[in-house]
Amino acid sequence: MTTPESAFVFNIVWTGSVFPYLSHLVASQQRHSDARFRFVANGCPPDQVRLMEDFAATADGRVVDVFVSSTTMKRHGAALDAVLEARDDGEFFCFVDPDILAEGEYLRAFADVLDGGCAGVTSGRGVWTDNVVVPAGHPGVPGECFYSQDGYLFGSPHFAMYRRTPLQETINRWGAGFDTAVADLSQEAKDVLTSAGHTYWIYDTGKILNILLQEGGHRLCHLEHPALLHIGGMSHYLSPPKGPGEPRAPDDASDLGLPWPPARLEVARYTADLLRALSCGEPPPAPPSGLDGDLAARLDRVRAAVTNLFTPASSTGAG
């Protein structure tokens, strides 16, 4: 049987004050699928929650809920764990980042992967890179790295769709969730990571859970779709950190304490400036000069896709 797209509810975790800007990208996800969405407010100011509620009220039922996971900003995985425990959307549990832009229909391909026997399918390679393999000798598994050197799939924290039953069975079996760190695991669970051949000091959102899911006999899959454009990192520029409890600026460190690659910084900075200008009705800024040909081409694609969101035919429902 073919699962209808309306069976999927994507949880979108929001932080800071980015909603007025990134809601345009989320509207593109809605426009090119029949999925439904839940907005998960993770430490967002009250005015941002009200904007989410206003968006939901005019979304023809496509936004099923505005869920406040925490009044203070927690890690991404903690917000996902909170909504998974509090809400039951039926056979599937799904999430997607708000900085993923859809340029065309995309969801059917992922639904077919699940219908084909996978317990989960992930996606979301950043537009700034083609390399999603953990570097040799790296101390951890960053969010943007989806595979080990030998091809083992760690999955992506940016776009994921799971069958809820095997996911919940794995969580119950190991006491692990999307926010689980190595220190939180039992010795038995640590031994599973070791026997799988992938022991690191630190794992980004959901990586440990994805390993335990697979080591429990379930199949995890990964698919990159040409209609999805994951930009990444814009929240740091659209809603800068205001205090010690908020994320570090990407110029200083990534989640693993290592600087972001220059290409990632350039894409995030420029796209944030682009979104801010277009949201205010200003002309789009020119891409930075002096970039190498590959990065310039990537930014040209981003510029065209984001600018298209603000054309009359594309901007309906953009919040």
On whether the CB atoms of residues 178 and 208 are closer than 8 A, the answer is no
On whether the CB atoms of residues 188 and 176 are closer than 8 A, the answer is no
Q: What is the 3-state secondary structure (H, E, C) of the chain?
A: CCCCHHHCEEEEEECCCCHHHHHHHHHHHHHCCCCEEEEEEECCCHHHHHHHHHHHHCCCCCEEEEEEEECCCCCHHHHHHHHHHHCCCCCEEEEECCCEEECCCCHHHHHHHHHCCCCEEEECCECCCCCCECCCCCCEECCCCCECCCCCECCCCCEEEEEHHHHHHHHHHHCCCCCCCHHHCCHHHHHHHHHCCCCCCEECCCHHHHHHHHHCCCCEEECCCCCEEECCCCHHHHCCCCCCCCCCCCCCCCCCCCCCCHHHHHHHHHHHHHHHHHHCCCCCCCCCCCCCHHHHHHHHHHHHHHHHHCCCCCCCCCC
pLDDT tens digits, one per residue of 101-133 = 999 999 999 999 999 999 999 999 999 999 999
Task: Give the strand pairing for 100-102 and 228-230.
Answer: antiparallel
Taking the C-alpha atoms of residue 48 and residue 15, their distance in angstroms, rounded to an integer, is 9
What are the C-alpha distances in Å from 105 to residues 9, 18, 33, 211?
Answer: 16, 25, 6, 30
Would you state the pLDDT for residue 239? 80
pLDDT tens digits, one per residue of 236-271 = 889 865 544 444 444 433 454 556 778 888 899 999
On whether the CB atoms of residues 18 and 238 are closer than 8 A, the answer is yes
Taking the C-alpha atoms of residue 308 and residue 156, their distance in angstroms, rounded to an integer, is 27
Of the given ranges (95-99, 200-204, 313-317), which has the lowest mean pLDDT?
313-317
pLDDT band at 1 (very low <50, low <70, confident <90, very high): confident
pLDDT tens digits, one per residue of 13-47 = 999 999 999 999 999 999 999 999 999 999 999 99
Taking the C-alpha atoms of residue 59 and residue 229, their distance in angstroms, rounded to an integer, is 22
Compute φ and ψ for 271, nearest 5 degrees: -65, -35
Would you state the pLDDT for residue 264? 84
List the one residue out of 109, 98, 116 whose CA is nearest residue 229. 98
pLDDT tens digits, one per residue of 194-225 = 999 888 999 999 999 999 999 999 999 999 99
List the one residue out of 294, 241, 271 whose CA is nearest residue 101. 271
Express as a percent the part of the chain with pLDDT over 90.
Answer: 82
